[in-house]
C-alpha cells in the first residue's frame, strides 16, 4: 500500500468511477481490469524487508529526574540457563541497543565465565530479561565439535567468548544484524578446549532468517580485545586497535576487510570505540589511561582517514571501560562507584556526577560490569548491568532531559 504502482491504480479507479456513470457495462469491465491489474502489481512487488517496531517511551521512565538511576531488579537467569554460572554473561562483554526492536542484546561471558550460547534480551517495554533462543546445555557445549569459523556444528551457535566492545548492531540490504568480531576462543567453563574463531558471526534482527550467519574463514588483522562500531553513513564496520596498532574497515555485505590503516597507535586491550552521530566523529577511549583519540573518516579514500589525540578539560575519570553515547545530550558517559562520568563532545570537557538511586530494595548503583552499558534514545536513558560487588542489577539512568 502506498507504492507508486498502487497509487496509480487508485487514481485510475477514481477516474473511472467519475466518468462511467452512464456507461455501466464499460465501467464494470474497466473496474474488473483495474482490480486484476492491481492484484498482479501487488503480487509482483518485492516483499518488505522487515518491520521495525515503532517504539514509544515506557511510562516508568517518563518522570525520571536528571541524575537518577531507576533500579529494574536483580539480573536473574538460572531458570532459563541452569548449571551455567549464567550471570557472568556480562564478563568482559557489552550490551547493544537494538534499534529495530527496542531492546538490549548481549552475547558474551565466555570463556572462563560461562559457556552460554544464547543471546539474552532486555525488553524495554516489559523491562524483563529473556533468552532470544535456548542456549546449548553445558554437556553439549563440552562435546566440542566446533568448526574453524568458531561455531558449534550441531547447533550453529557461536562458541562462547568475551565480546569486549566488539559487538555491533549493523544494517545492510535493509536488514538489521547483531555482529560479533571478537576472536577470543580460550578454554573455559563447559568447554575445556581452545576454539579457533576465524569468522565474523552475525545474527538477524529483522527479516525471515532466524539463524546465525558466518562469514568465510579469514585471518582477522584485529586482536580479540579490540573495539568495533557501525558507521551508519557508509554502512561499514570500523574496528580500532586494542593490543596492537591499526584501524580496519570491514564491509558486512561483502564480508571482508576492505581497508587497513596502520598509523593508529596502540590502545590498551578492551578499549571503547564510539560514533558521535552529531559531529560525525569516532572516538577511541583507552580504558587504562583514558587517552582520547578522535577520528574523521574519509569515506572516499579510507587511507586518508585522519586521527588526533584530544586532551579534554575537566575531571578525567579513573581507569574504566563502560562507556556509551547519549545522542540527545551529545555526551559519552559511563558509571563507576556510583559516579557518572560525562564527556561533553561539544566542549570536550569531562565532568563527574553522583548518581542518585531510586530502588525499592534500597540498592546502590555501584559500578557497571565491564562494557555492559548502552543508551536507549527512545526513553533517553542509559541501560546497564552492575558487577557482582554491586549486586548484578539492571538499571536505567537519565543524565539529562
For residue range 145-181, what is the model confidence (pLDDT) as tens digits?
A: 999 999 999 999 999 999 999 999 999 999 999 999 9
SS3 296: strand
SS3 81: coil
Facing residues of 119 across strands?
none
pLDDT at residue 50 in the model: 44
CA distance 140 to 127: 31
Q: How far is CA 154 from CA 111, 200, 253, 325, in A?
A: 20, 18, 26, 38
The angle at the Cα of 227, spanning 121 to 249, to the nearest 5 degrees, equals 110
Please count the residues of the chain. 401
* Predicted structure pTM score: 0.86
Residue with cell 581452545: 194
CB 256 within 8 A of CB 247: no
Three cell numbers written together for 387: 558487577
pLDDT tens, the chain, 401 aa long: 433 334 333 433 444 334 444 445 454 444 333 333 333 323 332 333 344 557 899 999 999 999 999 999 999 999 999 988 999 999 999 999 999 999 999 999 987 788 999 999 999 999 999 999 999 999 999 999 999 999 999 999 999 999 999 999 999 999 999 999 999 989 988 889 999 999 999 999 999 999 999 999 999 999 889 999 999 999 999 999 887 889 999 999 999 999 999 888 888 889 999 999 999 999 999 999 999 999 999 999 999 999 999 999 998 999 999 999 999 999 999 999 999 999 999 999 999 999 999 999 999 999 999 999 999 999 999 999 999 999 999 999 999 99
Facing residues of 375 across strands?
382
Phi and psi for 225 in degrees, rounded to 5? -115, 40
CA distance 397 to 248: 33
CA distance 158 to 181: 11
CA distance 241 to 387: 26
Q: How far is CA 388 from CA 126, 358, 369, 370, 394, in A?
A: 24, 19, 8, 11, 12
DSSP 304: G
Within 10 angstroms of residue 377's Cβ, the number of other Cβ atoms is 15
In 3D space, the residue among 299, 292, 361 whose CA is nearest the CA of residue 332 turns out to be 292
Three cell numbers written together for 392: 548484578
Alpha helix segments (H runs only) across 211-275: none
Three cell numbers written together for 59: 511510562
Which residues does 186 contact at the CB level (< 8 Å), separation at least 6? 110, 111, 112, 194
Spell out where 77-195 has E strands.
Answer: 96-98, 103-106, 120-123, 128-131, 146-147, 151-152, 167-172, 175-180
Amino acid at each position: 500500500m502506498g507504492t507508486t504502482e498502487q497509487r496509480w491504480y487508485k487514481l485510475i479507479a477514481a477516474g473511472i468511477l467519475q466518468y462511467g456513470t452512464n456507461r455501466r457495462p464499460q465501467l464494470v469491465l474497466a473496474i474488473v481490469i483495474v482490480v486484476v491489474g492491481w492484484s498482479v502489481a501487488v503480487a509482483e512487488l518485492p516483499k518488505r524487508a522487515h518491520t521495525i517496531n515503532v517504539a514509544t517511551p515506557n511510562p516508568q521512565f517518563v518522570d525520571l529526574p536528571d541524575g537518577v538511576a531507576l533500579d529494574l531488579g536483580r539480573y536473574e537467569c538460572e531458570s532459563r540457563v541452569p548449571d551455567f554460572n549464567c550471570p557472568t554473561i556480562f564478563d568482559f562483554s557489552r550490551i547493544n541497543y537494538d534499534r529495530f526492536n527496542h531492546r538490549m542484546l548481549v552475547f558474551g561471558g565466555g570463556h572462563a565465565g560461562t559457556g552460554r550460547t544464547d543471546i539474552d534480551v532486555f525488553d524495554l517495554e516489559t523491562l524483563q530479561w529473556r533468552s532470544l533462543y535456548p542456549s546449548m546445555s553445558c554437556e553439549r557445549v563440552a562435546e566440542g565439535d566446533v568448526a574453524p569459523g568458531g561455531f558449534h556444528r550441531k547447533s550453529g551457535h557461536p562458541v562462547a567468548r568475551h565480546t569486549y566492545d566488539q559487538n555491533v548492531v549493523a544494517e545492510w540490504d535493509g536488514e538489521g544484524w547483531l555482529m560479533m568480531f571478537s576472536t577470543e576462543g580460550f578454554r573455559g567453563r563447559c568447554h575445556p578446549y581452545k576454539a579457533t574463531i576465524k569468522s565474523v558471526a552475525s545474527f538477524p534482527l529483522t527479516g525471515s532468517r532466524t539463524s546465525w550467519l558466518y562469514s568465510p574463514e579469514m585471518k582477522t588483522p584485529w586482536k580479540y580485545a579490540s573495539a568495533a562500531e557501525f558507521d551508519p553513513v557508509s554502512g561499514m564496520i570500523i574496528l580500532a586497535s586494542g593490543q596492537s596498532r591499526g584501524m580496519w574497515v570491514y564491509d558486512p555485505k561483502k564480508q571482508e576487510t576492505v581497508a587497513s590503516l596502520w598509523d593508529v597507535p596502540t590502545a590498551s586491550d578492551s578499549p571503547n570505540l564510539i560514533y558521535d552521530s552529531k559531529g560525525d566523529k569516532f572516538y577511541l577511549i583507552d580504558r587504562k589511561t583514558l587517552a582520547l583519540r578522535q577520528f574523521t573518516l574519509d569515506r572516499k579514500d579510507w587511507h586518508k582517514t585522519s586521527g588526533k589525540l584530544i586532551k579534554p578539560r575537566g575531571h578525567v575519570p579513573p581507569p574504566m571501560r563502560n562507556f556509551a553515547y547519549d545522542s540527545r545530550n551529545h555526551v559519552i558517559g559511563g558509571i563507576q562507584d556510583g559516579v557518572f562520568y560525562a564527556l561533553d563532545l561539544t566542549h570536550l570537557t569531562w565532568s563527574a556526577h553522583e548518581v542518585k538511586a531510586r530502588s525499592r530494595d534500597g540498592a546502590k548503583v555501584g559500578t557497571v560490569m565491564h562494557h555492559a552499558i548502552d543508551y536507549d534514545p527512545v526513553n533517553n536513558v542509559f541501560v546497564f548491568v552492575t558487577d557482582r560487588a554491586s549486586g548484578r542489577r539492571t538499571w536505567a539512568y537519565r543524565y539529562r532531559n
